[in-house]
Amino acid sequence: MPVTRRQALVSAGAFAAASSLPLNGQTQSPASDAPEAEPVCLSDFEPLAKAKMPPMGWEFLNAGAGDEITVRWNKESYQRIRLKPRVLVDVSHVDTRITLFGQEHAFPILLAPVAAQKLVHPDGELGAVRGAGAAHVAMVLSSYSTTSLEDVSAAAKIPLWLQFYARTDHGFTRELVQRAEAAGYRALCMTVDMAVSGARNREVRARVQLPPLPLGSLNILGSKLDPAVSWKDVEWLRSFAKIPLLLKGVLNPDDADRAVKAGVAGIMVSNHGGRNFDTVPATIDALPLVVEKVAGRVPVLVDGGIRRGTDVLKALAFGANAVLIGRPYLYGLGAAGEAGVTMVLNILQHEFQVAMALTGRPNVASIDRSVIWS
């Protein structure tokens, strides 16, 4: 439903009440355990999460590839983009709704796939999906989940998509896709920017070890990534998948064009959060060229570096249909469990509504390049 200014203010009040919930589901003492100040923006959750998370989980969540230059660029590139507001526009009624693959979303914001969430919080993916449900935000589950895709589906009150990698064992991949379809997942996201694992120096130094990954009969750690993955694998997947297939990890516009011609349902402009290959461009810098090449034939989504509602607005202005956030909601999960995920999303949603109002954009369709100060 469209969100009015009054509803946004009510939502902000609800967030303030939720912010006082115990962190990680534990009772806070009046003095020592309570944070000095309640989080009011996404960056406020980082120190709260670091204080509560195991050191290995913190290193895993924050690690990037190589010198972590792309990790830094992802955020800095948004900060360099200036907005061009319009005034005296009626924004008493701000409509944030979008539609993707026939499914309406209250906001153009989804949860990106992040592996091994029990390294962040004992509730893992169940905490994330419940927190997302309270904020009415769809979630993309990682195939490296520490909770079975069926258990996540059973706990979900929002649409779920499944992310996966190309594997040398095609039987493994087929069974994973069919399980996702049987469990009610709405789309598939094939990660294509990780034919091999990159230079993950920080993870090696921290001696990161993944916890058990309970995918039933599927031995996900025993099925190796396929360095021979090619467009033939996309054709093969499309031959039996019954739900939309998106390619995640596209930066080159020529790859985006070929993907559309191969019949994929959508493109995710992503650099893996800077986790696998360093010094590739920030996703917001790659986005406009991909959008130009795709030319509206399929939806284009983007992740990486989004920390503010203004970042969401900027991504949409450059042509994205929706954005995904990764680390920010995991900071919320690490700090306060499922309530923390909801708090992070409520803040980002409210900031996006404010950004729309202050740039004179009453609905998502009105967000275009004219909102960018060239």
DSSP readout, 218-283? --TTTS-B-TT--HHHHHHHHHH--S-EEEEEE--HHHHHHHHHTT-SEEEE--GGGTSSTTPPPH
Residue 27 inside a domain? The answer is: no
Residue 71 inside a domain? The answer is: yes
Integer Cα distance of 125 and 121 in angstroms: 9
Q: What is the pLDDT of residue 196?
A: 83
266: left (phi over 0), alpha (psi -120 to 50) or beta: beta
Domain count along the chain: 1
Cα 127 to Cα 12, 333, 346, 354: the distances in Å are: 22, 7, 16, 28
Cα 7 to Cα 4, 95, 120: the distances in Å are: 5, 11, 32
DSSP code for 167:
B
| Tokens (6 digits) for 348 | 């980002």
| Tokens (6 digits) for 126 | 């169940």
- How many other C-beta atoms can be found within 10 angstroms of the C-beta atom of residue 152? 22
Q: What is the pLDDT of residue 216?
A: 44
Q: Any residues with CB less than 8 A from the CB of 99 and at least 6 apart, and which?
A: 105
Which among 125, 73, 109 has a CA at the least distance from the CA of 271? 73
**Residues shown for the chain:** 374
Q: What is the pLDDT of residue 20?
A: 39
Residue 280 inside a domain? The answer is: yes
Residue 194 inside a domain? The answer is: yes
Cα 94 to Cα 83, 90, 332: the distances in Å are: 18, 9, 26
Integer Cα distance of 372 and 167 in angstroms: 41
Integer Cα distance of 107 and 298 in angstroms: 19
- How many other C-beta atoms can be found within 10 angstroms of the C-beta atom of residue 211? 12
Q: What is the pLDDT of residue 314?
A: 98
Domain that holds residue 8: 3-19+39-364
pLDDT tens, residue order, the chain (374 aa) = 344 443 443 344 434 433 333 333 333 333 334 445 789 999 999 999 999 999 999 999 999 999 999 999 999 999 999 999 999 999 999 999 999 999 999 999 999 999 999 999 999 999 999 999 999 999 999 999 999 999 999 999 999 999 999 888 889 899 999 999 999 999 999 999 988 888 889 888 888 888 778 754 445 555 577 888 999 999 999 999 999 999 999 999 999 999 999 999 999 999 999 999 999 999 999 999 999 999 999 999 999 999 999 999 999 999 999 999 999 999 999 999 999 999 999 999 999 999 999 999 999 999 999 999 98
> What is the reported pTM?
0.89
- How many other C-beta atoms can be found within 10 angstroms of the C-beta atom of residue 53? 23
Residue 29 inside a domain? The answer is: no
Residue 61 inside a domain? The answer is: yes
Q: What is the pLDDT of residue 23?
A: 36
The gap from C-alpha 295 to its chain's centroid, in whole angstroms, comes to: 23
List the CATH number of the domain containing 110. Answer: 3.20.20.70
93, 136, 170, 272: the catalytic one is 272
- How many other C-beta atoms can be found within 10 angstroms of the C-beta atom of residue 236? 15
CA angle 373, 324, 170 (to 5 degrees): 135
Residue 153 inside a domain? The answer is: yes
Longest dimension (CA), the chain: 60
Integer Cα distance of 26 and 4 in angstroms: 35
- Is 272 labeled as catalytic in the residue annotation? yes
DSSP code for 368:
S
Residue 303 inside a domain? The answer is: yes
Which among 312, 324, 232 has a CA at the least distance from the CA of 269? 324
Contact between 64 and 202 (Cβ < 8 Å):
yes
Contact between 96 and 106 (Cβ < 8 Å):
yes
